Structure 1
């Protein structure tokens, strides 16, 4: 025992730490209060979209996902379980984005939770990308976002409860080299989301975005591998020293959709292992 300002404080021994961790492992996870809520998760046959869908299924939400490929959508829905439904949707523009949300609402009787996701624009430097390429980028990474939100939020507002979580990019905060189209379009989407959040906060609807860093998805491991110099170089600026797991990311998405996150809106949350260095 130690004494500090007249208070007896027990020393913590290594064995005590292990016992505390063991007790923590036996604790039940937090109930996010969204069992039975109806969630539409876009572009969720793989990657971070799938991770978000999996976390919501684990919380007991009813989930409808989409992919541009029927076989991939069906396989992902079967793997997710929990009665997950699937649709084929082309999210490269606002028409297909609207159709997905409307289709999900028809399947489930409404949409309480919307996870916005979609294919990113092609890479390229500002000095290399032609002007007409910007329209396609805006269609898929800005207008498709707007369309999904406009399709989902009226019903949420009428019911007095809703959650919108958009998967964007760290390039919104810290533009990536050679991703001029993504940096431009997703910055616009972030501005829209923040504006929408302020407009509908009083109706019980929250709107947030998550900005993923490097995660262990097929896309990232396909570029950097699972070990070696390329991956080491990519992780050099990640203080956590590793790729994020999809489960790490999905847990953040699920929390932002939770009852407990009802006072959190208009936020853009980096999920990057500490890679983003600025104060704001």
Structure 2
């Protein structure tokens, strides 16, 4: 296929494809005897991977390094890797739909009102710690509201009391702002950034001291796998912070801050 056909296939402009060539992210095929450059399925796969990695928050240089790993692989191996990635996404979508089904069940049974998906105490807490310009704060708000709306009635009263206590403490508001700032700073970082582990440890310690005050370690489905559906909107380094927090909470290997 020609460059225009490749660009149309991936819904990008030919200018974008040429820019990736210029940046060394996407290999440029040699010209054929007819003077045209001919692209194949490997080029389409490489372009698709670059676009997906960039959308996830990686720089072109980082995306190029990852795509370069495919150049030494045979086509069946590359396709098998894509199939495995699609299977993972399918599992995440099923998990998200399962949680939404539970919300729907609660709404249909009258456990949730149309405008009452979170306790007033949680809403007050979120207003205290909200940072309108922070994407991390917006993500945390959405997740907390979803989880709170799915909390069984006997446990919801205790969680509401905890959020009321946190909202009344100015130090907790400042700490929340600091956590969001540090998460936002990781939006363009690599998944092994040195700032990830300290932030994950601090968040796990905070959660243990202020939110998981019950004797049990939390919901029985807390695991790195169960939290994946919530991470699709985060950059790779931010998602890794949350994964490490969940692992720490699951293992209960956290100290007080």
TM-score (norm 1): 0.27
TM-score (norm 2): 0.29
Which protein is richer in strand relative to its size?
1
| Structure number with larger C-alpha Rg | 2
